[in-house]
């Protein structure tokens, strides 16, 4: 009987010696990789993790490995642990929401990744995983900003951690847009003009750009309208008598009273109370805004152009401002003069 008890005790001791309890001794990298090899199978490894698991993990004294029991914990909570090596990325005015929450692991792998920045997947997929509403817009949009689908995708315009610019832009909105729109761009047999050249060449800039930047009229990601516009705007010479519908985008800023027959103060382009915008626009061949005005900028006050494209012809437009109105000469009609002041009969 005694001999049986002694043998049983010996077996328990031998089993304890043979069975490693990594949480109670100094483990080696080899020990960890016996079970956790898959953590290091991707192309790029996190350097501290590759060097030694104990750079980030520490034993908590519990047996390891053991079912439903963790033998190791992180030395510090994330993001403080990450900031022991990396400079803090939460010091600027605007923070990416995961950064603000201290959730580095929402985007990054901690051990290895197929990307050298250790992100869990590449943009735009990584970004659209959280920005699901944007993903839906991109999937259903008529036009999609090409930059989203090529190169660095979202990171072409946004920084991933923090920025002093709104919406995590990597530059001011105007500078950001013009870094690409500084040359003509051909898309679907349509040429987008050199916007930077146009803005620098012309004296007068559309107030929408000055106040709201490019995104006052354009959606930077995707739109159900042409040219990434935020509302309907036809670029045809004529708007077929349905002006308010076909140039709806303009009325996000401009008053719909521009289309009323008689006005007193909603526009300076009137002859007495006769609204000359109404006269030009409200007809079967209603003139489009772009028949007289520049969309982004123009060389003359009121965004009036010197010449306007009419088919293949550069149609001249000459406007002379007067104290109470002006004089206009175009290929559409003979010289016409208007005055906002009604002359009283003598």
* 249-296 per-position pLDDT tens digit: 999 999 989 889 999 989 999 999 999 999 888 877 888 898 899 999
With CA atoms as reference, report the closest residue to 124 among 146, 94, 98.
Answer: 146
Q: What is the DSSP letter of 306?
A: S
How many other CB atoms sit within 10 Å of the CB of residue 138?
Answer: 17
Asked whether residue 127 falls in the same domain as residue 219, the answer is yes
Asked whether residue 270 falls in the same domain as residue 318, the answer is yes
pLDDT in tens, 203-223: 999 999 999 999 999 999 999
Asked whether residue 220 falls in the same domain as residue 252, the answer is no
pLDDT in tens, 41-51: 999 999 999 99
Considering only 18-22, 126-130, 311-315, which range has the smallest mean pLDDT?
Answer: 18-22
Asked whether residue 197 falls in the same domain as residue 155, the answer is yes
pLDDT of residue 320: 95
pLDDT of residue 26: 63
* 98 occurs within a structural domain: no
Produce one character per residue of 180-206: b if its CB has 16 or more CB atoms within 10 Å, e if not. bbeeeeeeeeeeeebbbebbeebeeeb
Q: How confident is the model at residue 232 (pLDDT cuts 50, 70, 90)?
A: very high
Asked whether residue 65 falls in the same domain as residue 135, the answer is no
Asked whether residue 252 falls in the same domain as residue 314, the answer is yes
Where does a domain end: 162, 197, 228?
Answer: 228
For the chain, the domain total comes to 3
* 116 occurs within a structural domain: no
Q: Judge whether 98 and 49 are in contact, CB under 8 Å.
A: no
Structure tokens at 5: 């008890």
Strand ranges, E, within the chain: 44-45, 57-59, 72-74, 94-95, 112-113, 143-144, 162-163, 185-187, 190-192, 204-205, 222-223, 270-271, 274-275, 297-298, 307-310, 313-321, 325-330, 333-339
Structure tokens at 57: 């993990």
Asked whether residue 211 falls in the same domain as residue 126, the answer is yes
Mean pLDDT confidence for 164-187:
95
Residue percentage of the chain with pLDDT more than 70: 90
* 178 occurs within a structural domain: yes
* 91 occurs within a structural domain: no
* 235 occurs within a structural domain: no
Where does a domain end: 67, 83, 99?
Answer: 83
β-pair partners for 113:
44
* 256 occurs within a structural domain: yes
Where does a domain end: 83, 100, 130?
Answer: 83
* 35 occurs within a structural domain: yes
Asked whether residue 135 falls in the same domain as residue 221, the answer is yes
Considering only 23-32, 113-122, 149-158, 206-215, which range has the smallest mean pLDDT?
Answer: 23-32
Asked whether residue 247 falls in the same domain as residue 216, the answer is no
Asked whether residue 136 falls in the same domain as residue 220, the answer is yes
pLDDT of residue 13: 45
User: What is the span of the domain harbouring residue 62?
Assistant: 2-83
Q: Compare 333 and 29 and report the one with higher pLDDT.
A: 333
* 55 occurs within a structural domain: yes
Asked whether residue 215 falls in the same domain as residue 254, the answer is no
Q: pTM for this one? A: 0.84
Asked whether residue 133 falls in the same domain as residue 173, the answer is yes
């Amino acid at each position: 009987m005694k001999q049986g008890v002694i043998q049983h005790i010996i077996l328990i001791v031998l089993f304890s010696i043979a069975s490693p309890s990594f949480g109670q001794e100094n483990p080696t990298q080899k020990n960890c990789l016996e079970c956790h090899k898959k953590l290091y199978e991707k192309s790029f490894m996190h350097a501290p993790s590759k060097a030694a698991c104990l750079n980030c993990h520490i034993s908590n004294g519990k047996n390891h490995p053991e079912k439903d029991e963790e033998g190791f914990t992180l030395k510090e909570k994330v993001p403080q642990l990450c900031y022991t090596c990396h400079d803090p990325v939460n010091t600027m005015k605007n923070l990416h929401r995961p950064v603000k929450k201290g959730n580095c692991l929402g985007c990054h792998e901690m051990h290895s990744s197929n990307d050298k920045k250790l992100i869990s997947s590449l943009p735009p997929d990584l970004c659209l995983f959280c920005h699901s509403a944007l993903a839906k817009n991109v999937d259903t949009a008529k036009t999609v900003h090409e930059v989203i689908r090529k190169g660095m995708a979202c990171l072409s315009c946004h920084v991933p951690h923090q920025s002093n610019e709104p919406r995590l832009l990597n530059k001011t909105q105007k500078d950001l847009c013009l870094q690409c729109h500084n040359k003509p761009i051909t898309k679907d047999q349509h040429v987008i003009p050199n916007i930077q050249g146009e803005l620098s060449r012309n004296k007068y800039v559309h107030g929408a750009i000055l106040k709201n930047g490019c995104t006052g009229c354009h959606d930077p990601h995707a739109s159900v309208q042409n040219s990434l516009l935020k509302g309907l705007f036809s670029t045809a010479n004529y708007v077929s008598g349905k002006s308010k519908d076909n140039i709806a985008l303009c009325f996000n800023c401009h008053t719909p009273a521009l289309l009323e027959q008689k006005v007193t103060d909603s526009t300076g382009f009137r002859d007495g109370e006769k609204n000359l915008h109404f006269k030009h626009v409200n007809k079967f061949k209603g003139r489009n805004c772009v028949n007289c005005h520049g969309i982004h900028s123009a060389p003359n006050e009121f965004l009036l152009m010197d010449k306007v494209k009419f088919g293949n012809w550069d149609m001249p437009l000459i406007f002379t401002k007067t104290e109470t109105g002006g004089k206009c000469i175009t290929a559409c009609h003979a010289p016409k003069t208007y005055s906002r002041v009604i002359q009283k009969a003598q």
